[in-house]
Amino acid sequence: MKVLHGDPSGWEVEGRHVVSIGVYDGVHRGHRHVLGLVTGAAAERGDRSAVLTFDRHPLAVVAPERAPRLLTTLGRRIELFGDIGLDVTGVLAFRRHVRGLSPEAFVGDILVEVFRASVIVIGEGFRFGRDRAGDVTSLRGFGERWDFEVEVVGLVDGDGPLSSTRIRTLIADGDVAAAAEALGRPFELPGRVVRGEGRGAKIGAPTANLDVPLGLALPARGVYAVRVEVPGVGTVPAVANIGVRPTFGGSQETIEVHLLDRDDDLYGADLRVCFQSRIRDERKFPSVEELIAQIDRDITEARRLLS
C-alpha cells in the first residue's frame, strides 16, 4: 500500500480511484464495511482503491476541548488500512490550508485533481470543507460536474449506529468485550515499558509499566484479562491493571501488565495490549496480604477467561 503524507498538491498517484474520506478512528466493523465497498468497487471497475484520512482528529484543531480520545494511533490506523487491501492511503495534515479549503476546492483540488475519483464512498452524515459546509447533496452536485459517482453507506448494526463514539463509551465503561464486538477485534493499547516502583515484583507478581501515547482512549480503572504482543516472543496471556494502586495510597494512574508464567526483562520494549475481558473493579484492600490473595484469584480468573 502506498502511503502519502504532506501537501496533497505534491502527491503522485496513477489512474482513477474509488475513494473514501474520514478520520476512521478505530477502523471498526462499520469502517471496514465501507472500505470493503471501496476495494470491491475498484476491483470491478479496474480502478485503484484509496482512503483519505487526517493526521489528527479535526476537533483537536477546531475545538480542542471537545476532541475525543482516540481508539488508534495514526500508525495503527495505516496498518489496518493495509490489512483491508487498499492501494493508497493519503494522510492530510489538518492545518490551516486543509481546514480552510471550501467544499468545492476540497473536492476539485484533491479528489479530482490528485485521485481522479471515479466513485466516492462515504458514511451517512458526511460533511467536508471549511466550516463543514459540504454535505452529501453538494458532493453529488460536484460528481455531476466532475464525472464521479457518490455512494452513501449507513453504519448500523443490531444495537444501533455503529460509531467510534459508541465504542469509546464502551471502553470508558470497561466493557471491553462489547467494544471488541463492535471493533471486530480486541481493543488495543500500545505502550513502551518504563521503570516503575517495583512493587509487583516484591509481592510476587512482577509487572511491566506502560507509557501509553497521549490522547488514547483508556478502559475504566480495574483488572482485565489481556493478551500482550511482545517483540521477539509473540502473544502472551496476561493480566492488566489500570488504576492508582489505592492499597498503597497511590494517586497517579498507571497501566501495568503481568505476563502469565513469564518474567522477561521488558524495559524499553514496545508492547501491544489486547483487552479480552474485564475481571473486576479497582479496589482498596485492608492489607497487602489481602491484595496478594486477590491477585492470585485474578490470575486464576484470567487463565480461565483466556483458555
**Which residues neighbour 98 within 8 Å (Cβ) at sequence distance 6 or greater?**
54, 92, 106
pLDDT tens per residue, range 227-251: 999 998 999 999 999 998 777 666 6
Query: Is the model's pLDDT at 3 over the cut of 80?
Result: yes
pLDDT tens per residue, range 135-147: 999 999 999 999 9
Overall average pLDDT of the 101-123 stretch:
94
User: What is the structure's pLDDT at 95?
Assistant: 76
Coil, strand or helix: which one is 291?
A: helix
- Burial class of residue 124 (count of CB atoms within 10 Å of its CB; 0-12, 13-18, 19+): exposed
C-alpha–C-alpha distance, residues 90 and 224, integer Å: 36
User: What is the structure's pLDDT at 198?
Assistant: 63
Overall average pLDDT of the 14-41 stretch:
94
Strand order in the sheet with 149-153: 2-5, 88-92, 48-54, 17-21, 117-123, 149-153
C-alpha–C-alpha distance, residues 253 and 231, integer Å: 25
C-alpha–C-alpha distance, residues 89 and 38, integer Å: 12
CB atoms under 10 Å from CB of 242, counted, come to 23
C-alpha–C-alpha distance, residues 184 and 178, integer Å: 10
Cell representation of residue 307: 483458555
Enter the DSSP assignment of 111: I
Q: What is the mean pLDDT of the chain?
A: 90
Model-level pTM greater than 0.85? yes
Inter-residue contact 239 to 299 (CB < 8 Å): yes
**Which residues neighbour 195 within 8 Å (Cβ) at sequence distance 6 or greater?**
209, 267
Which residues are catalytically annotated? 256
Cell representation of residue 103: 467544499
Coil, strand or helix: which one is 198?
A: coil
